[in-house]
């Protein structure tokens, strides 16, 4: 069986299958632990499922990939090769998109806090600036005048829609820091001002209401509000837009038997609203969506090795050689990643999987019923391809993990493991890292 089949068996719950054991044992022996491993075909399948659901329903469609989920250039290249375009939140991500072969003019830049140099860099590369506020708008116009160029812009709208998701990843509610609010006429003022500013061309409109959303209701509400506003822009300000971006946020199933958001279900729910509103609007902009997690989360596994197992008077711990410096989501969001112990089925016991960071909060998985592990065993954290490596750090002076890409039976190192020298790059006398 191929390496990929080994990974898929572990994902499906059979990490004791000889093919799963062979795959993880080989990867760990060749590359050390901890590491992230991504399955290329899963990324392709996710991209294709979005295109298959939205393509036939929205002939004027653009699907983007939110690079923040996973910024590894090889992953970005893979996603873009499926026909997606980049959506980014920093100059570093613009650079990653360019390195992956994207044209600057295909990049959408959405940070809520852009520095003057990021605005300049965007203008230099003809990146579409998704403006967050009126102060930023005037800076963009001034920079474009100074450079003798034109800024293509959209506004990130805060539609005041509250999806049923975690507080930390709810971006569309009125209290969030993101975007120009529809409420209070701020968004309208933004477009009115943009129309009158020099060297600014209005291209579209954008919103992103949150992440890990498993229900279409909030998307429907956001779509209605956005399209009603698009109509107001046409009727009252004479502004026609070339795109309406409804953001990312599609949830994935983090638990066995979970469903997440089906692209079919979302596309279907949006189609009827879109049709209705477009007939009132009298012209059809492109529909854009920009998921991150949906495209890459399930493809990725984080693999660590057991250092020791201990039982206290209160509970039992399995100490592994990764921590919240490797996979931050459990400590940061209380996220639950399923855990598999490679090659074991016997004597299930309830355990906390504890990281190797010197912090009480460094628990990667809490109260899990797992086959009794022992030192040297490999443990696999599922659904770690999004916001996994991207949020990793070198806290506690631990080098960054390796990233591997599996395609069938091939494996490629797409980022080598960090080194102890790299921990000191940039320090006086520290090792400089050459690109
Ligand atoms: C503006 C924007 N678009 C898209 C995304 C992608 O979200 P997700 O990974 O949940 O699809 C994010 C993530 O927070 C975002 O901030």
Quick one: 15 and 108 in the same domain? no
Instruction: Compute the distance between CA of residue 363 and CA of residue 383 in angstroms, rounded to an integer.
Output: 17
| β strands within 251-299, DSSP E | 286-289
Query: Is residue 244 located within the same domain as residue 261?
Result: yes
- Same domain for 288 and 303, yes or no, is no
Give residue 224's pLDDT band: very low, low, confident or very high (50, 70, 90). Answer: very high
**Most informative mutation of 90, 208, 293 for ligand 1 (most atoms within 8 A of CB):** 208
Domain endpoint, select from 277, 293, 309? 293
Residue 76 lies in a domain: yes
What is the rounded distance in angstroms from the CA atom of residue 244 to the CA atom of residue 230? Answer: 8
Percent of the residues in the chain that have a pLDDT greater than 70, as a whole number: 97
Phi-psi region of 263 (alpha: psi -120 to 50; beta: other; left: phi over 0): alpha
Residue 67 has pLDDT above 60, yes or no: yes
Query: Is 409 among the domain residues?
Result: yes
* Ligand 1 neighbourhood includes 208 CB (under 6 angstroms): yes
Q: Which residue's CA is the closest to the ligand 1 atom numbered 16?
A: 208
Number of domains composing the chain: 2
The CATH number covering residue 123 comes to 3.20.20.10
Same domain, yes or no: 320 and 338: yes
Rounded average pLDDT over 67-83: 98
Of how many residues is the chain composed? 435
Nearest-CA residue for atom 4 of ligand 1: 248
Q: Is 290 touching ligand 1 by the criterion CB < 6 Å?
A: yes
Give the per-residue pLDDT at 172: 67
pTM confidence score: 0.96
Annotated active-site residue 358? The verdict is: yes
Q: Answer with the one of 246, 270, 293 that is the final residue of a domain.
A: 293
Neighbours of 311 (CB within 10 A): 10
Q: What domain range is 397 assigned to?
A: 3-32+299-424
**Of residues 29, 358, 369, 397, which has the active-site annotation?**
358
pLDDT of residue 435: 45
User: Would you say the CB of residue 110 lies under 6 angstroms from ligand 1?
Assistant: yes
Give the Cα separation of 419 and 399 in Å (integer): 5
Residue 429 predicted with pLDDT over 50: yes
Q: Is residue 399 one of the residues assigned to a domain? A: yes
Q: Which residues have a Cβ under 8 Å from the Cβ of 45 and sit 6 or more positions away?
A: none
What pLDDT band is residue 174 in, cutting at 50, 70 and 90? confident
Q: Please, where are the H alpha helices in 55-126?
A: 73-80, 91-99, 116-124
* 117 within a domain of the structure (yes/no): yes
* pLDDT score of 55 more than 50: yes
Q: Under a CB-based contact definition with an 8 Å cutoff, are residues 70 and 386 in contact? A: yes
Give which of 47, 48, 51, 53 is closest to 65, Cα–Cα.
47
Same domain, 193 and 242: yes
Residue 147 has pLDDT above 90, yes or no: yes
Distance between Cα 291 and ligand 1 center (Å): 6
Whether 66 is in the pocket of ligand 1, judged by its Cβ within 6 Å, is yes
């Amino acid at each position: 069986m191929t390496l990929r089949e080994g990974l898929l068996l572990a994902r499906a719950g059979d990490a004791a299958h000889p093919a799963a054991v062979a795959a993880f044992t080989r990867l760990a022996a060749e590359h050390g632990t901890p590491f992230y491993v991504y399955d290329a075909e899963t990324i392709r399948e996710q991209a294709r499922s979005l295109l298959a659901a939205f393509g036939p329903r929205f002939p004027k469609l653009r699907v983007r990939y939110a690079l923040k989920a996973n910024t590894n250039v090889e992953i970005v290249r893979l996603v873009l090769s499926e026909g997606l375009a980049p959506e980014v939140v920093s100059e570093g991500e613009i650079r990653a998109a360019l390195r992956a072969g994207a044209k600057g003019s295909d990049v959408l830049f959405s940070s809520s806090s852009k520095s003057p140099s990021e605005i300049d860099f965007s203008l230099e590369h003809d990146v579409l600036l998704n403006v967050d506020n009126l102060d930023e708008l005037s800076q963009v116009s001034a920079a474009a005048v100074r450079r003798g160029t034109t800024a293509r812009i959209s506004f990130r709208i805060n539609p005041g829609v509250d999806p049923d998701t975690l507080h930390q990843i709810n971006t569309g509610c009125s209290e969030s820091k993101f975007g120009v609010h529809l409420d209070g006429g701020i968004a309208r003022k933004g477009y009115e001002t943009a129309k009158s500013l020099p060297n600014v061309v209005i291209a579209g409109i954008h919103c992103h209401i949150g992440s890990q959303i498993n229900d279409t209701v909030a998307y429907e509400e956001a779509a209605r509000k956005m399209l009603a506003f698009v109509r107001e822009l046409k009727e009252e300000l004479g502004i026609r837009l070339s795109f309406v971006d409804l953001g990312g946020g599609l949830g994935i199933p983090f638990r066995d038997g979970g469903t997440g958001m089906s692209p079919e279900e979302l596309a279907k729910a949006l189609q009827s609203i879109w049709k209705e509103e477009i007939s009132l609007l009298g012209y059809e902009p492109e529909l854009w969506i920009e998921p991150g997690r949906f495209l890459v989360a399930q493809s990725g596994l984080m693999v660590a090795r057991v250092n020791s197992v201990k039982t206290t008077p209160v509970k039992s711990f399995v100490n592994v050689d990764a921590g919240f410096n490797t996979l931050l989501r459990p400590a940061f969001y209380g996220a639950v990643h399923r855990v598999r112990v490679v090659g074991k089925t016997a004597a299930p016991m309830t355990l906390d999987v504890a990281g190797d960071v010197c912090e009480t909060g460094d628990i990667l998985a809490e109260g899990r019923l797992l086959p009794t592990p022992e030192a040297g065993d490999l443990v696999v954290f599922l659904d770690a391809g999004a916001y996994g490596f991207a949020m990793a750090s070198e806290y506690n002076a631990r080098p960054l993990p390796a990233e591997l890409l599996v395609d069938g039976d091939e494996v490629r190192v797409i980022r080598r493991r960090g080194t102890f020298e790299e921990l000191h790059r940039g320090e006086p006398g520290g090792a400089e890292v050459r690109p």
